[in-house]
Amino acid sequence: MSGNVKDELNRRALLTGGAAALTAACASGPTPTSPPSRGRFLWGAATSGHQIEGNNIASDFWTLEHVRPSPFAEPSGDACDSLHRWDEDISIVHQLGLNAYRFSVEWSRIQPEQGCWSQAMLDHYSRMVDVCVSRGIAPVVTLNHFTAPGWFAAAGGWATTSAADLFAAFSEKVSRALADRVSHMVTFNEPNLALGGRWSSSPPGPAYISAIEACVASAARANGSDRFVVLLAHPEPRKLIRNVVAAHVQARAAIRSVRSSLPVGLSLAIPDDVAVVANSVIEAKRADVYGPFLDVMRDDDFAGLQTYGRDYIGTERAIPLPPSAARRPDGREWFPAAVGNAARYLHNATGKPVLITENGIDAADDAERARFIPEAIASVDAARQSGIPIIGYLHWSLLDNFEWLSGYGPKYGLVAVDRTTFRRTIKPSAWRYAEIVSARLT
């Protein structure tokens, strides 16, 4: 980005309070206003608790990371220490001139044991919401971003019919604490991810499946249980989906019982699916992977979309990249326009306005991200111009963070985080994004 825009954004951050004022506001307690950005297009960045907070020790994933054997490249550990540095993170969102920040609340911190609620953690997330609002940033809050409490997994998790009641009770607690100031509430993050494996061009092989099974069995033993049920680490995820869908429906009702006007939805992982042959199984794949959620989403307020690329669907599953595809230096496809196409599909499938809750690129070379962002946004613009109601674009991710099984290797962040000092460094791609947003919000 040009130095001028960067200076202008920094000047604006200073004029409207900036980081120093934010710190002061935290200390003295900011005065929340009404939720910002209602009716405005949301330009933001996204994170999730487990991936950035650090030491989420009561969660199911923490156990999976630490038992042996474990397929995780490394444990999440301190992550980005955002449990303590969240105000700095929000300050960066503000400095970039964005008007939305998506983050998730960690169920295992709020309910570390069944029947035990932490008011202190509800207060913590409430302060995050307050600071967002006081900075003119719309807080988009996710209730479940993959992780759940260890006690929940050890009691059967999403395999039990009581899961919906337990999740709805948690959702109501969070709503009572935050809903009056939250902009949008996302119940589940990519609950369909576990269904996609068999349609992939390289479905999980027996070695991978047995590694996950051994890890889960070890986690169950570590908890003195005969089971440890985690949606993303279950051999038969389809058996759990009915309970997840019920949990979404009950959580939505719980949220609306607290604040009926708060927009609620869930976010699906949806690539730009393309039929490559006349007898492609594209519709069978869509019915199998998205279908279980599409019906209930028709009663939501928005449809959350998370897109990272394109799938070429053949006669049985996705096929490997065709030779004609444009490739990145590492061989992966270069196709930033996937997000606009997927938004079209999701709106047509649900009839709902689409909130792009994630879109981004794993790029060690930040110059690739700086090229990706304008092209992705151009595809969103094109979809909007053709009449698709899209209400926001939240880039994944604000920070380089814990990328689940892959540990800290992948780099999705607009901001680099030093793994020892936790120092944040805003990357050039973030300023490129800021420049595009600045031209639209002024």
Q: Considering the rule CB under 6 A, would residue 403 count as an interface residue with ligand IFM? A: yes
* Number of residues near ligand IFM (by CB under 6 A): 8
Taking the complex as a whole, the smallest distance from the CB of residue 145 to ligand IFM amounts, in Å, to 6
Taking the complex as a whole, the smallest distance from the CB of residue 209 to ligand IFM amounts, in Å, to 20
Nearer to ligand IFM, 146 or 158 (CB): 146
Q: Considering the rule CB under 6 A, would residue 306 count as an interface residue with ligand IFM? A: yes
325 to 364, contacts with ligand IFM by CB under 6 A? 358
Taking the complex as a whole, the smallest distance from the CB of residue 318 to ligand IFM amounts, in Å, to 17
The binding track of 37-66 with respect to ligand IFM, each residue x by CB under 6 A or -, is -----------x--x---------------
> Is the peptide bond between 162 and the residue preceding it cis, with omega within 30 degrees of 0?
no
The binding track of 152-191 with respect to ligand IFM, each residue x by CB under 6 A or -, is --------------------------------------x-
Q: Considering the rule CB under 6 A, would residue 393 count as an interface residue with ligand IFM? A: no
Residues annotated as catalytic are 190
Say how far residue 149 (Cα) sits from the centre of its chain. Answer: 18
Nearer to ligand IFM, 304 or 340 (CB): 304
Binding residue (CB under 6 A) for ligand IFM from 86, 152, 158, 396: 396
Nearer to ligand IFM, 158 or 396 (CB): 396
Taking the complex as a whole, the smallest distance from the CB of residue 51 to ligand IFM amounts, in Å, to 6
Q: Give the binding site for ligand IFM (CB under 6 A).
A: 48, 51, 190, 306, 358, 396, 403, 412
